[in-house]
Amino acid sequence: MRCGELLIRSYDSHIDRARVEDLERRCEVGPAQRVFLFTDTLGDPICRIRNSPMYIMLVAELDNELVGVIQGTIKLVTLHNLTKVGYALGLRVAPLHRRRGIGLRLVLKLEEWFIGNDVDYAYMATAKDNEASVSLFMKLGYVNFRTPAILVNPVSHRMYHSSSTVEIKKLMAEEAEVVYRRFMSSMEFFPDDIDSILRCKLNLGTWVAYPRGESWDYSNGQFPSSWAMLSVWNSGELFKLRLEKAPISCFIYTKSSRLMAKLVPSCFKLRDMPDFFHPFGFFFVYGLHREGQASGKLMRTLCKFVHNLAIKSSEDCKVIVTEVGGGDRVKLHIPHWEFLSCPADLWCIKSLKNEEGTQHVNDLTKAPPRTLFVDPREV
């Protein structure tokens, strides 16, 4: 795997762990004039991919210095049919070594691993305005595929009232799997190993909401007139986030709301903005599905339920995050703060097989977006 002086090899926790963590600390993600989001992997740099069926981390070394890293996972998902896809994530190159082709070579090496494992398509996700990342992948033949919205809602200190007209029920993993396979298996990127996601210890559970008075009896195939469903993944168990160089509005809001809380606690009405400048965890909400006329309200009730769950069950969960397809109307029912959210994340895709595969990619990109299943393991 030698390319000139650059050595690209598999990650070895004994010799690379501390150096990869150090690289991660030195690498901002996103454009310089905006927020820098740092990830603290809590001593396990490979934690983001560990729960995937197949995974790899590659490191790039130059004269014994660790200068770059990339991670990849492989799984089976629904695309035009059941398809093997490789996901490229966590690409980082040390600031002093950028624009020397290291990022490009890391992606190419990862693609070799994908091809060796019979992957049909490689894909990646990035912020639309991450020019470096977008240009790099475009140069390698990736094309724009989908622009899902990342919706972020801060966890406040106050619990929401639960609705007296809505029943909320937690599903067992087996039941959740049956319902997901029945209603969501044709959605884009639905993972074939949904059962292992639902049984993972990071999965806090799957809940359904339906009108009180009706019954939920999935074994007889009977569903309420309207219902909504979601699952919750505790990403904060894996890694923490920390903000730096936040927009000035965000900074002022944090400071001033605290100040006001001290000065006028009894009439304090502003929603208290959490402190994002110290490491914090988050819940990722995925597998959102709804049926029936009243399902929008039921989805909102479920989201409030998740907010209360975050207050009750986690000390450091400061935000609830979800990602839904760009055109998915479910986002109208998910509470979120616009200025913390990202209206259009960018997913790019590339066929690693023959021309027929490329043709499929063209068909996929031209087709109107279907509902997207965002795998919590890829956050």
Ligand X SMILES: CC(C)(COP(=O)(O)OP(=O)(O)OC[C@H]1O[C@@H](n2cnc3c(N)ncnc32)[C@H](O)[C@@H]1OP(=O)(O)O)[C@@H](O)C(=O)NCCC(=O)NCCS
Q: How far is the CB of 144 from ligand X (least distance, A)?
A: 14
131 counts as binding ligand X under rule CB under 6 A? yes
CA dist 118 and 239 (Å) reads 30
Q: How far is the CB of 277 from ligand X (least distance, A)?
A: 20
Q: Which of 20, 59, 74, 102 binds ligand X (CB under 6 A)?
A: 102
Q: Which of 42, 46, 104, 202 binds ligand X (CB under 6 A)?
A: 104
Q: Which of 19, 37, 128, 130 binds ligand X (CB under 6 A)?
A: 130
Q: What is the pattern of x (binds ligand X, CB under 6 A) and - over residues 16-55?
A: -----------x-x--------------------------
Identify the DSSP state of 41.
-
SS3 track for 148-212? CEEEEEECCCCCCCCCCCEEEEEECHHHHHHHHHHHHCCCECCECCHHHHHHCCCEEEEEEEEEE
The region of 125-133, 221-229, 315-323, 366-374 touching ligand X under the rule CB under 6 A is: 125-133
Q: How far is the CB of 48 from ligand X (least distance, A)?
A: 12
The region of 88-96, 164-172, 257-265, 349-357 touching ligand X under the rule CB under 6 A is: 88-96
Closer residue to ligand X (CB): 91 or 150:
91
Contacts 24+ apart (CB under 8 A), 140-143: 140/104, 140/107, 140/108, 140/111, 140/350, 141/350, 142/348, 142/349, 142/350, 143/348, 143/349, 143/350, 143/361, 143/365
DSSP-derived secondary structure for 58-112 = EEEEETTEEEEEEEEEEEEEESSSEEEEEEEEEEEE-GGGTTSSHHHHHHHHHHH
Copy the structure tokens of residue 282: 């988050």
Q: Do strands 82-93 and 121-127 pair parallel, antiparallel, or not at all (unpaired)?
A: parallel
CA dist 320 and 222 (Å) reads 31
Reference 37, options 248, 279, 360; nearest CA is 279
Q: How far is the CB of 172 from ligand X (least distance, A)?
A: 36
- Number of neighbouring beta carbons within 10 Å of residue 149: 19
* Maximum distance among all Cα pairs of the chain, rounded to whole angstroms: 70
Which residues 302-361 are close enough to bind ligand X by CB under 6 A? none
Q: How far is the CB of 25 from ligand X (least distance, A)?
A: 12
Q: Which of 25, 139, 182, 271 binds ligand X (CB under 6 A)?
A: 139
Q: How far is the CB of 36 from ligand X (least distance, A)?
A: 10
Contacts 24+ apart (CB under 8 A), 264-269: none
CA dist 141 and 124 (Å) reads 12
Q: What is the pattern of x (binds ligand X, CB under 6 A) and - over residues 206-245?
A: ----------------------------------------
Reference 270, options 278, 258, 279; nearest CA is 258
Query: Integer distance in angstroms from the first to the last C-alpha of the chain?
Result: 29
Which element (helix H / strand E) includes 16?
helix 13-26
Q: How far is the CB of 129 from ligand X (least distance, A)?
A: 11
The region of 39-47, 102-110, 211-219, 248-256 touching ligand X under the rule CB under 6 A is: 102-110
Q: Which of 77, 136, 273, 348 binds ligand X (CB under 6 A)?
A: 136
Q: Which of 73, 133, 234, 235 binds ligand X (CB under 6 A)?
A: 133
The region of 7-15, 126-134, 165-173, 263-271 touching ligand X under the rule CB under 6 A is: 126-134
Q: Which of 35, 37, 38, 98 binds ligand X (CB under 6 A)?
A: 98
Q: Which of 2, 14, 99, 262 binds ligand X (CB under 6 A)?
A: 99
Report the residue closest to ligand X, judged by CB.
103
Q: How far is the CB of 97 from ligand X (least distance, A)?
A: 7
Which element (helix H / strand E) includes 304?
helix 295-313
Which element (helix H / strand E) includes 217?
none
Closer residue to ligand X (CB): 102 or 149:
102
84 counts as binding ligand X under rule CB under 6 A? no
Binding residues for ligand X, rule: CB under 6 A, are 27, 29, 91-93, 98-104, 126, 130-133, 135-136, 139
